[in-house]
Structures are given as structure tokens and as C-alpha cells.
Chains A and B, each alone.
Chain A
Amino acid sequence: MTEVRKGLIAKRYATERRFRIYGATALALTALFIVFLLADIVIKGLPAFTEPRVKLDVTGAADKVDAAKPAAGDYEAIVREALRARFPTVSGRAERRKLNGLLSQGAADDLRRMVVADPALIGKTFPFAALLSDDADLFYKGRQTGVALTKGATSLQFAESGEAYVITGDVAGLSPGQIVLVNEGALRITGIANGAAQAEALARPVTLNPAAAGGWNIMTLAKPEADRRISDQEIIWLEELKSEGVVEKAFATRFFTSGDSREPELAGLRGALVGSLLTVLVALALSIPLGVAAAIYLEEFAAKNRLTDIIEVNINNLAAVPSIIFGLLGLAMFLSFFGLPRSAPLVGGLVLALLVLPTIIIAARAALKAVPPSIKEAALGVGASHQQAVFHHVLPLALPGILTGIILGLARAFGETAPLLMIGMVAFIVDIPKGFESAATVLPVQIFLWSDLPEIAFQSKTAAAIMVLLAVLFSLNAVAIYLRRRFERRW
């Protein structure tokens, strides 16, 4: 072999390798995208599954709760009092309001539920875990600002000067905005002049004794106060609660048990989940019988003629019509022409039924076609009618395949958003839908709605809702893959 030819072959093999690498790269990029997407969503969403609560000792005082009507009690005041009891130094209306703001509105509702369930609590003092606000939640999850604590390297002297404080000693390491934690107090530096630092108290120290090196701390907050939704004062309170060990992190069951809310920490998916369930139920109840019947007719009974051709072309094209067009159909036909109720799972289900119908027909036809004709001939041979052969033998054998198609259609219906926007399933609905005609929203639309809200806390909620949606869809797909593997038959 000449050198030239050898070189040419080497070149050809190099091209071969390169081509192969291109293909592998394309797949790797796609896989990377999926991993990145899922990781991003899980990282964003996981925090939403927990919520911080502060353990308080509440007193179901008789002046606030009437034993005869426990539901009407002023539980907000009870919880607030219990929290204030932890901060006896807080005074003044503005400060107290701020302190109350750390609690979620949900805390009072939780307490009401607890007392209504057990009226014997009235007049007693008992422990209660009060839900904190979304801002507090975000702070504890590190989403508000970075917090750095450093030990004071030198000794620290400080004195009161009116309302404010003056820190003397080695103040070279301090800068305005930092907070000095000393003697159970918190002093925010407001300025430094002449080797002394001026500071205001966020929490008054219990004594004015000087602190030795290492006996006090400097807290540095990464984000300036003006850029965050939570003030230094609130951070000090939250840090104090945390250091006292009364803050607990609990699984947020309310994320699954309550409906939508304007308050991020109270918003839950139950309404959307029930709405999705009702909508998908309607869609399946219609599309399964229609789709399977149509598939049986087209695959087994239809004569090959123009009409059948038209139906066939029509179904294939319908499968590729953009889903938003089905929304237009729902709006113009079901709402405007037939006058069905807006935002109802009934109409959503109707639209989704038409949307997944082609998917189910195509899958069911493929499954029917895969059954070997010898089975049908065997049945015809012993004198079964055509329909008996199909319904007794072909259909049962095609069932796993049909079921796989139905599950894939179900998954599609469950994740569909756009057409439901058109028929008004985008309203803000707090109540859990009661029936097929009551206003409802569905899980994907809930995701869309939450993703649009300005509160950062909702971002996490959205990602968490996506996790729930994907969990449902992936399990559906897993079932479909299992069915396919389990019942796949080679004839």
C-alpha cells in the first residue's frame, strides 16, 4: 500500500471518528439540558416543601375566646401576644406592627383550627407552632441576604448616649451598616468618627459591661437594607428566635392541602390538583370510548374508500393542530355557542378530550394492527362473526397497547395549558372546586399563574408545583413504559 493511500485511509477514519463524536455530542447536549432543567427546578423548588414555624406558648384567654363559640375567637391577638412575650423590650406601635409582621396570617387560622378541634384548651397555656411570614421564610432559607458572623478580635467598650450608643476601643474593623452583637443586644453602626463608632440599638444590650476579645460578634449582611424586603431589625429578631432554638422547620403539608392564596406561605395546590383531576376525568371519560371505538372501526371494519381516507387524513392532521386552536374552538363553540359555564372543568375536559382524541386513536390503531391476522382468522374459522372475532380476540390482545396510548394521552391532557387559558381557567380561585361546573384551575395553569407573580416566594412555589406536575407525568410515563415492556409480544 502506498503512503498516499495510507494517508487517505487515515483521513477517512478521522472523518468517521469526528462524525461519530458529533452525534454523541448532540445527545450529550440534550441530556445536559434535561439535567440542567431538572436540577434548576429541584433546587428552586425544594425549599417550598418546608415552612418555618416559631414555637410559642399561647394562652387561650377567656376574654378572647368564647367557649361557646370557639371559632369566633380573636386568635390573631393571642398569637401576637405570645410572640411579643418573647420580646419584652419591643415597644411603640411601629415596632410592634413590624414584629407582628413576622407572623403569617395562617398562624391565627392554624390556632383556631387547633382550639376548635380541642375546646378544652380554652383558658389554658399550651405550646403552639406559629407559621412565619414568607419574608421570614425566605430569610431562613437564605434567599433574602447573606449573613456573615465574625468574632470581635479585640475587646469592646460601649456606652449609652441618649437613645444611641457609642462604641469605643478598637473600631478599625467596623464599618457603617454592620451590626455588633454584644451582651444579648444588637447595635447597628451608623457612623464612625474620631476613633469611636456611633450605633443605634436594634435590641438593647442587657448590661453595659465591656466585652473581651471573642466575647462579641460582628454581623455583616450582604445585601443593603434598602434592597431587601426585610429590615435589619426583623433579621435581628429572627436570628434571636433561631438562637433560642424555638424555630422549627416542618414539612409544608399545607402546600398540598390548601387552595391558592395571595400570601405565598399559605398558597397550596389542592385546588389545582382537584381541578386537574376533574378536568382530566371528563377528558378521559369522553376520549377513551370515542377514541377506541373510532380506532376499532377504522382498523377493523371500515371499507377502504374515499370517506375513510378523508377521516384518516383528518385524524392525522388533527393530531398536529396547535393546542391553542382547540382553545379557540372551546371558546367559540362550548362557551359562546352552547353557553356552557366559563372556567369549568366540564369545558376544560371537553376541550382536552378533543385534543387527545387523535393521540388515542392513532395509538389504539397501531395496537390493533399489531395483533396478527391469524388470530382473527382462527376465530372466523370456527364461525365467529367479524365483530365477535374483534371483540373477543383482537381487542383483548391489543388492550395493553391501547392502554399505553391512553396513558400517554392522559399525560398530555394533564400537562396541557394553552387551550385552558382561553376558556377562563386562569382565574384566581381560592376555593377547592366542588364539581364539574364550578370554577377551577388546573395544575399547569396554576404554575403559569404563580410564575407571573412578583413575590420571590412564589418562584419557589412555582418550581415546587412543577416538581409535583413532573412527578405525576413521569410516573404516568413509567407506567406506560412498564406496560409496554411487560406485555410487549413478538408474534
Chain B
Amino acid sequence: MDMMPQAVVTPPSPRIMAERQVRIEARDVNIFYGEKHAIKNLSIAIPDRAVSSFIGPSGCGKSTFLRAINRMNDTIPTCRMTGDITLDGNSIYDRDLDVVQLRAKIGMVFQKPNPFPKSIYENVAYGPRIHGISNSKTELDEIVEKSLKRAGLWEEVKDRLNHPGTGLSGGQQQRLCIASAIAVSPEVILMDEPCSALDPIATARIEELIDELKQNYCIVIVTHSMQQAARVSQLTAFFHLGILVEFGDTDEMFTAPQEKRTQDYITGRFG
């Protein structure tokens, strides 16, 4: 383990960290899939009310680390983790922590839109129901409406809330998933390549949406597209072979990367 090159963690620039507090912090995180060492000695601090994007070539571990933040890796039997990740200073791997409540605080949007094969209304209402957030039907209706509005989907679906969510277009489905995620009022939203299955127009809508959402949420997004990272995020982290190579202000990263590997990737020499 000590043979591993230490990641160079650039502290976020004062400009960003001065306005915002740290929400998620990881210390010395190692993740294994069976024999495979997927994340090596990772440490990072992610600020609130900003979009942080994870970029890097396929298999670099960015999705793995994202899933570690809301403990989705728990569902993979062969997956093991050492080190610690905290949310607001509290360890999310604490024995006493209820993973279900954690996931209510840290929502997730997946690569492929995965609405439940139920009505649009039921899709959004499911989270609030299981968390007991609403006490009455009118309250639930309000939450559904508010979430769909925030996700920019309300105008398109308000007349067909009882139609199946799987009948929507790909972009609409993804916004529906975002609506479902914000319906449980999370504090953090994780997005795992949310636009990779969408066409450019739908992608633009989602990016707009992400830009609006950052007013209220800490957003972490994994993306394959460097342009997207440049467009939507304030901070960018570059992963390579399980190592966090560089993390810093997006503007700086794309103009003056400190690491050669970052530069090579950004300029398209590999990846």
C-alpha cells in the first residue's frame, strides 16, 4: 500500500471555499472489488452549494467513489472499503448509522434513467411515502408538484401524472429521476453520468437544471465529457487508475493543470 503514489490533492481555491463550507470529506479511502484495488488512498473535501465533477478515463474509479458516498457499494457483495467518508463531519460508515436515512440525505441519479414502471406521480411520491415526509394526500401532491417543477418537468407532465413514467422520453425520464431524488429533500445529489444516454438537447436541459439546483444542493457529478465538466462544475477532480490525480477549480484545471497526466487527458492524449 505504501508503494502507491500519493494523490496530489490541491486544496480548493480560497475563492470557492471562502463562500462555502465543506460538506463531504473523504480520508484515505481504499476500495476493493474482490482482488481488484479500485480506489487507492483517496482523500478529498467537497464543498456545499457547488457542482463538483469527477472526470477520468473508463475504469478509473470515479463511479466507484461516487457510489461509496451514499454507500451504494454495500449492494455489491465482493466490495470492501477502508478509510472514512464523512458528511458534515459525521462518518457515513458509522456502525450506528442507518444507511437508509443516509441515502435520504444523499440522493442519487443514475447513468441510465431508471424510473419505476409506475405512474409519474407514484415515481415522485415513492420517496416521501417511505420516509413519512408527508402526512396527507394534499401535502404529498404539493411535494410532487414542487419536485417536478424544480426538475423542470411539471409543465410537460402536469396533465398526465397518472401515465407510466417509463412512457416518457429519455431526457424526461432522467428529469423524472431527478424529481424523485429531490422529492425526499436531500442535501447532496450524486449524479452518475446523468446525460450519457441522452441526446444533446435533453443534455442541455439537464445541465441547465444542474446549474439551478446548485443554489440549494451540494452536487457531485461523474461525467465522461470534459466539456460538460467545464460547463456545469465549479470544481473538477481528475481520476486515473484508481488514483485521484488532481482536484481543484474547474477554470484552473482546464487552463493550467498542475499534473502532466491531467494535461495529457484534457488535451486528448489518452482516455
Contacts and interface: CB of A to CB of B under 8 A. Distances in A.
Given A382-B181, A383-B130, A375 B100 contact: no
Given A374-B112, A375-B114, A382 B72 contact: no
B265 interface: no
A160 to B, nearest CB: 92
Contacts of A383: 100-105, 107, 127, 130-131, 184
22 contacts: A304-B77, A374-B110, A374-B112, A375-B117, A376-B75, A378-B110, A378-B115, A378-B116, A381-B70, A381-B103, A381-B107, A382-B104, A382-B107, A382-B126, A382-B130, A382-B183, A382-B184, A383-B102, A383-B103, A383-B130, A384-B130, A397-B117
Given A378-B177, A381-B72, A303 B77 contact: yes
A376 B105 CA distance: 18
B138 to A, nearest CB: 21
Contacts of B70: 381
B228 to A, nearest CB: 21
Interface stretch (A181-189, A343-351, A385-393): A385-393
Contacts of A380: 72, 75, 103, 108
B23 to A, nearest CB: 17
Nearest to B111: A374
A291 to B, nearest CB: 24
Given A382-B103, A383-B104, A384-B103, 5 more contacts: A378-B180, A382-B127, A383-B100, A388-B100, A388-B130
B60 interface: no
A385 B108 CA distance: 14
B266 interface: no
Interface residues of A, number: 20
A379 interface: yes
A95 interface: no
A378 B177 CA distance: 8
A382 to B, nearest CB: 4
Nearest to B103: A383
A381 B103 CA distance: 6
A411 B133 CA distance: 46
B109 interface: yes
Contacts of B180: 378, 382
A48 to B, nearest CB: 49
A381 B126 CA distance: 11
A-B pairs with lowest CB-CB distance, top 4: A383-B104, A381-B108, A382-B127, A374-B114
Interface in B59-97: 70, 72, 75, 77
Given A374-B110, A388-B130, A392-B126, A379 B116 contact: yes
A378 B75 contact: no
Contacts of B114: 372, 374-375, 377-378
Contacts of A393: 116
Given A303-B77, A382-B103, A383-B130, A377 B72 contact: yes
Contacts of A381: 70, 72, 103, 107-110, 181
Contacts of A379: 116, 126
Contacts of B112: 374
A400 to B, nearest CB: 12
A381 B190 CA distance: 9
A388 B100 CA distance: 10
Interface in A275-301: none
A304 to B, nearest CB: 5
Interface string A398-442: 000000000000000000000000000000000000000000000
Contact of A375 (B104, B105, B116, B130): B116
A378 B105 CA distance: 15
Contacts of A384: 100, 103, 126-127, 130
B144 to A, nearest CB: 13
Interface in B187-216: none
A65 B91 CA distance: 94
Contacts of B72: 377, 380-381
Nearest to A376: B75
Contacts of B102: 383
A303 B79 CA distance: 12
Nearest to A305: B77
A397 B116 CA distance: 10
A393 to B, nearest CB: 6
A376 B114 CA distance: 9
Contacts of A304: 77
Contacts of A378: 110, 114-116, 177, 180
Interface in B107-144: 107-110, 112, 114-117, 126-127, 130-131
Contacts of B126: 379, 382, 384, 392
A323 to B, nearest CB: 36
